Amino acid sequence: MVVDKPSGLVVHRSAGARDVPALLQLARDATGGAHLFPVHRLDRGASGVLVLARTPEAARALHEQFEDGAADKRYLALVRGEPPHAGVIDHPIPRREDGPRVPAVTEYRCLETVTVPFRDRAGVERAQRYSLVEARPRTGRLHQVRRHLKHAGHPLVGDVNHGRVEHNRWCRDQYGLDRLALHAAALAFDHPATGARVRFEAPLPPDLREPLARMGFRV
C-alpha cells in the first residue's frame, strides 16, 4: 500500500504522540482493518510517498531494498544558502536513535536558488539565499537527508532540531512556511511479489508549494 502522507501526521503512535491521529491506523481503517507494516520512515513534519507492506514477508523484502540502496528515493528540500550544483555527502550517521554510526551516502543536486530579504536577530536586514535541493539517499538512516544537508552546511528550513530558529521563524512569518520543508517526491522499488520495478510520485502539497512560490521558486 502506497500513501501520500501530509506534513504533521505521525506514521505510528509513540510515547510522545499517543493522543494524535497516526497514519498507520488511518490506513488500516481505510482497508477494513487490514494489518499493515511500516517499511521505512517519514518524519512527522515531512510529506510525500510512504510504503506500507501487507505481509511480514513483503515488509522484510522491501526493508532490505531501503537499507541497501536498491530503492530509489527522491526528496525535495528547502535549505539555507546555495550548495554546489551537485555532490555526494558521505558521512556516517546512526541507523536509529542512540545507535552506533554507520556508513551513509546521499547524492544531491541544487535545482534553484533565490535571494530574498532577511532580518537577523539583531534587526539587521540583509540578502539571504535559499535553495531548493533534490536529495537521493542511497542508504536508509535515521533523519539522513536532514543530518546530511546540515553536515554540508545547508540545514533544512523548518527543522527545529538541525536548523536555525531565526530562519524558520522568518520563512514562517514572511512566506507562510509553517512546516518542515522536506517532501518525499518519488519512490521506485522492485515489487516484492512480482519483481517488477514500480514507481510512485507525490506532487508538492499546497502548504509547501505556495510558500516556495511566494519566495520566488518556479514550482
C-alpha cell belonging to residue 183: 517532501
Are the C-beta atoms of residues 106 and 135 closer than 8 Å to each other?
A: yes
Are the C-beta atoms of residues 130 and 113 closer than 8 Å to each other?
A: yes
Q: Which residues pair with 34 in a beta bridge?
A: none
Are the C-beta atoms of residues 118 and 126 closer than 8 Å to each other?
A: yes
Task: Encode the chain in three state secondary structure.
Answer: CEEEECCCCECCCCCCCCCCCEHHHHHHHHCCCCCCEECCCCCCCCEEEEEEECCHHHHHHHHHHHHHCCCEEEEEEEEECCCCCEEEEECCEECCCCCCEECCEEEEEEEEEEEEEEECCCCCEEEEEEEEEEEEECCCCCCHHHHHHHHCCCCECCCCCCCCHHHHHHHHHHHCCCCCCEEEEEEEEECCCCCCEEEEECCCCHHHHHHHHHHCCCC
Instruction: Enumerate the domain spans of the chain.
Output: 2-215
Q: What is the pTM of this model?
A: 0.93
Out of 19, 29, 43, 90, the active site residue is: 43
Asked if residue 109 has pLDDT above 70, the reply is yes
Are the C-beta atoms of residues 102 and 132 closer than 8 Å to each other?
A: no
Asked if residue 132 has pLDDT above 60, the reply is yes
Q: What pLDDT is attached to residue 20?
A: 64
d(CA 145, CA 147): 6
Determine the topology of domain 2-215 in CATH. Pseudouridine synthase (3.30.2350)
pLDDT tens digits for range 136-180: 999 888 899 999 999 999 999 999 988 889 999 999 999 999 999
Asked if residue 17 has pLDDT above 70, the reply is no
Rounded alpha-carbon distances, angstroms, from residue 159 to 59, 138, 181? 29, 22, 8
pLDDT tens digits for range 66-83: 888 899 999 999 999 999
Between residues 16 and 124, which one has the greater pLDDT?
124
Phi, psi of 145 (to 5 degrees): -65, -45
C-alpha cell belonging to residue 47: 510529506
Asked if residue 15 has pLDDT above 60, the reply is no
Query: pLDDT class for 14, splitting at 50, 70, 90?
Result: low
Query: pLDDT class for 97, splitting at 50, 70, 90?
Result: confident
Q: What pLDDT is attached to residue 16?
A: 58
Query: pLDDT class for 129, splitting at 50, 70, 90?
Result: very high
Q: Respond yes or no: is residue 19 known to be catalytic.
A: no
Q: What pLDDT is attached to residue 192?
A: 93
Q: What pLDDT is attached to residue 13?
A: 73
d(CA 45, CA 33): 26
